Structure 1
């Protein structure tokens, strides 16, 4: 496990070693001591499966740290700095496969779009789920995220998320 900083403070891109074996591969996706070194004490492990490519989720900033990694398929992940600081609204995108993970601290918005059918996405968090979150419109032109598909599938709730301008007004 090799963690590298990104342009957003606290967000880490993690490279995982994937070892081929008879008929497939093996990877150590979770190692308590190694994740604790990153500051993550996992209390909940969620798994999401997506049958189709082009499924978009986010942008959500929850009150917990996240460790995100696909175990099958590929995703385009986008993280957005939404914490109150000088780098507010910095955006960075990552293509993640089975040998990749992201560590996203609380308050940083995260989203993803499946790039392949049959994608399984793991989300490890350090607090139990609650409905509290900040959400931002993933299509906000100010973010200028280039989502990889024209025919995206997303929830009505995500599509109804406020713009960055609305979020700024709420915080003022």
Structure 2
């Protein structure tokens, strides 16, 4: 993890999906960061997320892989401990449908994910805590859109082969891109 980054946002090939460099301050005791600082992020052009829920996914093993899920809300993703390979696929209706972006995330990096963009990650270190703020509450009736992690069309370059990764049976059964109904925008 890099200490002392300047707070900055970077665009990606997926409209609205933004990488955020977060300053992390460390010393012999550990480190500190402002993970979400509304005024500073608004000044950099991020939308006002208005978080209503904070979720944490703790992943014990290297290679734990989750996704690809597009939720009906926006997300601000970061890592509290560990490191992940993140993958995003635009599942919204339009010319960008199927566009992929990947990057590694550690505590000095965050990602803003607009609703309708599929999100997945694979842990690269043990005991990784993946955390995300959302701007709507989870409900059992929420309409998700799913894409298979192994879809050949989007060809996510997973650092750990999916045959060797820890996946849920549900994630293994999601449809390929040709079978996905694009999310209405």
Note whether the superposition's TM-score is higher than 0.5: yes
Q: Is the 8 A contact 1:81 1:89 kept in 2?
A: yes
Q: Are 2:116 and 1:107 aligned?
A: yes
Q: Normalising by the residue count of structure 2, what TM-score does the alignment of the two structures yield?
A: 0.87
Query: Residue 157 of structure 2 corresponds to which residue in structure 1?
Result: 146
Q: CA deviation at 1:22?
A: 3.5
Q: In the alignment, which of 81, 86, 96 is matched to residue 95 of structure 2?
A: 86
Which 5+ residue runs of structure 1 have no aligned equivalent? none
For 1:122-161, what aligned pairs fall within 5 Å after superposition? 122-130=131-139, 131-150=142-161, 151-161=164-174
- Please report the RMSD computed on the Cα atoms of aligned residues, expressed in angstroms: 1.7
The equivalent residue for 2:85 is 76
1:10-49 alignment, distance < 5 Å: 10-35=16-41, 38-39=46-47, 40-49=49-58
Change (3 A) 1:147 1:162: same
Tell me the distance in 1 between the aligned counterparts of 2:94 and 2:178: 16
Q: Distance in 1 between matches of 2:34 and 2:181?
A: 40
- Aligned residues of 1:75 and 1:115 also touching (Cα < 8 A): yes
TM-score (norm 1): 0.94
